[in-house]
A and B are shown apart, each in its own frame.
Chain A
């Protein structure tokens, strides 16, 4: 009766064969892989270069202005500006710049790939049927499973970090772009068609503008997920705040880890607030009243 309680391992998968296949691919496609990793490294590098050459007071002021506009409230603008300056004040400014450039590069690539895919699957049920299971897999697959192959194919450093981050963070922007476009009022779409819009006009003049609040929520979520990968990616050589946290944890320096971790949280909160509220319909009561006053 023993066989009933031990599942027969009938199908033996040669995981070593997969390993060697990946390695063989890494060798044979070295040129292409190097080009990709060089390109990604260059992208992160140039964003970092740009950020480093902006004087820090200008960056802080930019945070104040953008969060003021996004929140429509001066006080939160100043609050986020102070929080941002705090990162520099505790001596983590340069690391924050490195982290920010990796995150921005990842989000940029995620949007460049994610927005068109989202638009594509919003218009085609067949494409939707193919893409959805892939997105589900990407969301549920443990990060480390593709962290290692990324390391193998693209080497230690920023390029691997960007690729791993893109895989992890691209899902919300695809899903929410597609959802937003599908949720556009059917009559509005019919109206656009009835007035002789081409597919392009329908998409760019009606569907995307109408779906913009939802799409922006997707962008925001993608940004947040990219931030969540900061520490994880330091394991494959991404520098910045994540590396600081990792090193502190490895050496059991609780205080150092806490400070660096808090900086990550502050950066995440600021990025989140700055990307929210631009296109959502819920305006603060004050502007609503002002507009209603004009209408009368």
Chain B
């Protein structure tokens, strides 16, 4: 068994050009011309330019970009529906371009499958026939070696087996009982479920999804996103997901690659991309996302300007608060584990009455952990009288979140 975090597909310096004067276009691009300049001068479309990607196994990898950014061209390079003009696409370190006809068929039949934007269903087949299509071409391809198997009992057994498998995947996407309906009678969401079932039936390692939910209405889309996440977590398939919707990308993606004019601008986790956009384009793109659903507390917490150890005296605490113009301060032990919060009133009272900090500290403190989404703590932050403490599982204080920092993160 291979390491679960390894790379399943590697894209190395892939470019794809359409039209005339391609060699000339490559020279212009290398000299730093833009895609538009090349098209106007030479009539050559640069769909992809020097793309490098590493797709991690078992994760959802989202490629996002506006139309014309090359994302659909890119996704078709993964199963060689498109051949790159230059560069290599490696599946488990095997170069796709080097595959002969048979190897390519085997690769498409067993390793990789695809879900399409307008579903790509075959209207002359019923739901079951569509879901079983991949298995059918695989069966018949492998049976060609002995012609006797094309007919009779063997064929019937194979047919029953693949219909059984197709029924299982249809049940997984919630289409039990719809097997013998014609696809034309299904709603958009149900059609795409058939598309997903068809793609899962072959038990592939990689699922390519080319804007699968773009043609669906928003409510159905949300359900489908949720179901995709569930299926992915259950089956641990590698998913390469194309979208132009930043919310969808951040919701689904373990990793997100953002494309513009045929180039990859940034590859990062949604949190990193949101927190540290590589350039203005990414900032603008991610700016349209609902940030509170992307950013975690860990991204927005600040380091407290002052901390008081529980063993210190109240006089020190008062001095610290006065120095930093604070009315409260967090109290920790020697391992930086959170003990509670000390207000200036309590500190003064302790000093007057000669008490220790330990006796006056408020231990009922609102806490949270760094990986909680900002959206989830927003109500609490709005109500809280004091900053919320961010603590690790072992109780160590990581930072604090104030009302101001929550609000600032949304801008």
Contacts and interface: CB of A to CB of B under 8 A. Distances in A.
Q: How many of chain A's residues touch chain B, expressed as a range?
A: 20 to 34
A139 interface: no
B108 A196 contact: yes
B36 to A, nearest CB: 26
Interface string A195-238: 11110010001100110100000000000000000000000000
A198 B112 CA distance: 16
A187 B119 contact: yes
A210 B116 contact: no
Contacts of B181: 295
B15 interface: no
A210 B81 CA distance: 21
Nearest to A213: B124
Interface of A: 185, 187-188, 190-198, 201, 205-206, 209-210, 212, 291-292, 295
A211 to B, nearest CB: 10
Interface stretch (B40-48, B132-140, B304-312, B360-368): B132-140
Given A190-B116, A191-B116, A291-B182, A196 B137 contact: yes
B106 A196 contact: yes
Residue from A196, A212, A291 with most neighbouring chain B CB atoms (10 Å): A196
A194 B118 contact: no
Contacts of A194: 79, 81, 108, 112-114, 208
A191 B123 contact: no
A185 B208 CA distance: 19
B373 interface: no
Contacts of B202: 195
Contacts of A212: 124
B126 to A, nearest CB: 12
B141 A198 contact: yes
B88 interface: no
B382 interface: no
Contact of B105 (A187, A198, A209, A295): A198
Contacts of A197: 137
B181 to A, nearest CB: 6
Nearest to B144: A198
Nearest to A288: B185
B134 A196 contact: yes
A249 B40 CA distance: 67
